[in-house]
Every structure is written in structure tokens, then in C-alpha cells.
Amino acid sequence: MDMQDNVILKTEKLSRHFWGLVALTQVDIELKRGEILGIIGPNGAGKTTLINVLTGLFPPTEGRIIYEGKDISALPAHIRSRIGIARTFQISRPLVDLTLLENVMTGALFARGLTCPQAIKKASDVCGFMGLQDLDKPVSKLTALEIKKMEVARALSTDPKILMLDELMAGISSDEADEMMDLINKIRGQGISICVIEHVMRVIAALTDRVIVLDWGRTLAEGPYAEVSHNPMVIKAYLGEDA
């Protein structure tokens, strides 16, 4: 086994351009097994683009994505989901005509190819794990917190090895964020490696082992949050003096 075996996912000079706009440029990151990695940086820094490219929503313009030692840069999103890469969306888009359970089942059905009864079982289990009740509730009756938990449950129902969470804490209260942090730690306890994008620095400080700071599509800094938060470049670009 090579020295990189503790790295589950890495990028090599990953870039993504949108016509003239450079959303990501030459980004090298590593996600270690069992780690909670924070991705922070100002609006438009390229955080969501990074997740979109990693999950295969669109291909990189340049560079490579290596997952468990294999180059997955050209694999379509549904295959990446099948091999263990899951995410939630910054703007959640639940299937509003379906129930809570049915939404969660979509992960198990499409990524795992389970039969319907198996998918019901899988979805019920992950909903239980996430503390979700009333699984027959229509999505329109759910609270903001329940919707967020449902999104995570849907991702978990694919049995991922990696979970990427894009601004999960936006739009929920501080107490709810605490509850969500406990759940994220519990997910890590299952051996899943996690990337969290957050603007809530209290959450980043408490939850992550390490952070990567993006700015204008580049890696500005990386390291433990306690260290990075004192980096003058990070303070200037993102955190401000009061961090």
C-alpha cells in the first residue's frame, strides 16, 4: 500500500472555468479517511463549484480527481454516487409531491439499485439514525431542520464513503445547528469521510479537523481552523478582524 492510503479523495491541479470566468484554478486538496474537512471562503470563492466537480455535476476544465487511488475525473455523477460519493445541495430541492420517506428512498433506489422493499428499509433506517419521525409526512409540512435532515438522510441512503455538505447550517437556529453537529459527528463515527462547506465559523471551529480556505478559485490557506483563523491573508480575504 502506498503512503497515500489514508487519503480517500484528492485533486491534482483541479480547475473549472465557466467561459471566461475562472471558478476554480489549480486546486490540490486531500480528504483523509474518517476526517471532517472544512471548506471555507468568501461568496463566489468556488466552494460549491469544487463539490460540483468532485461529484461529477460537470467535468473539470483541467486537472484530475483521484478517489481510492483511481482517476474518476471522467465518470458521470450517477457512477460517482454508486461508488460512494454523496452530497447535499446548498439550495435544497426536495421532490415536493413526495413524502419524507419517499424522498430519502430515491437515494437508495437510484444509487444503490435496491428493490422497493429494500429501499424502504434502508430509508427508514437512515431516517431513524437522523432522528426523523413521521416518515409519511408530505415534504410541504416539514420544518427547515427536517428538510436539512432529510437531505442528509437521502445522501446517507446511498451508503456513501464520502459525504459533502454544502451550507447545511444556513437557515436553521443555533440550537438546531448544535443538533446537526452532533449528527455529523455521529456520521463520522460510522467511518464516513466528510467535507463541510460553511459560513458559520463556530461550526467550522467545533466540527472540523482541518480546513481549506478558497479565495477566487485558489487555495489561500489550509490547516487546523485554530491556525488558519490567525493567518493574516485569511483574515483579510474572508474572516475580518473580529474572527
Ligand X SMILES: Nc1ncnc2c1ncn2[C@@H]1O[C@H](COP(=O)(O)OP(=O)(O)OP(=O)(O)O)[C@@H](O)[C@H]1O
Three-class secondary structure of residue 108 per DSSP: helix
* Residue 208 dihedral angles phi and psi, to the nearest 5°: -95, 150
46, three cell numbers: 468556488
Q: Which does 46 bind (CB under 5 to 8 A by kind): ligand X, Mg ion, none?
A: ligand X
Sole binder of ligand X in the list 13, 18, 141, 190 (CB under 6 A) = 18
Minimum distance from residue 153 beta carbon to ligand X (Å): 23
Binding window for ligand X (CB under 6 A); candidates: 15-23, 124-132, 179-187, 219-227? 15-23
> Where does this chain touch Mg ion (CB under 5 A) — which range of 12-20, 33-41, 46-54, 128-136?
46-54
Residue 55 contact, options Mg ion, ligand X, none, Cβ 5-8 Å cut-off depending on partner type? none
Q: Residue 45 binds what, of Mg ion, ligand X, none (CB under 5 to 8 Å, by partner type)?
A: ligand X
Query: Strand, helix or coil at 146?
Result: helix
| Contacts (CB under 6 A) with ligand X, residues 31-50 | 41, 43-49
Based on the shown chain and the rule CB under 5 A, indicate whether residue 88 belongs to the binding site for Mg ion: no
Which 162-181 residues touch Mg ion, going by CB under 5 A? none
DSSP label of 37: E
Residue closer to ligand X by CB (options 48, 157) is 48
Taking the CA atoms of residue 65, residue 162, residue 106 and residue 40 in that order, the dihedral angle to the nearest 10 degrees is -80
CB of 28 to ligand X, least distance (A): 17
Angle between helices 144-156 and 174-189 (to 10 degrees): 10
| Number of residues binding to Mg ion, judged by CB under 5 A | 3
Burial class (CB in 10 A: 0-12, 13-18, 19+), 96: exposed
Question: How far is the C-alpha of 93 from the C-alpha of 103, rounded, in Å?
Answer: 10
Grid cell 471548506 in the structure block, residue? 39
| Interaction between residue 21 and ligand X (CB under 6 A) | yes
Nearest distance from C-beta of residue 41 to ligand X, angstroms: 6
End-to-end CA distance of the chain: 41
Q: What's the CA gap between 10 and 66, in Å, rounded?
A: 5
State which amino acid sits at residue 124: S
Q: Does 103 participate in binding Mg ion (rule CB under 5 A)?
A: no
Q: Which residues bind Mg ion (CB under 5 A)?
A: 47-48, 90
Q: Which residues bind ligand X (CB under 6 A)?
A: 18, 21, 23, 41, 43-49, 90
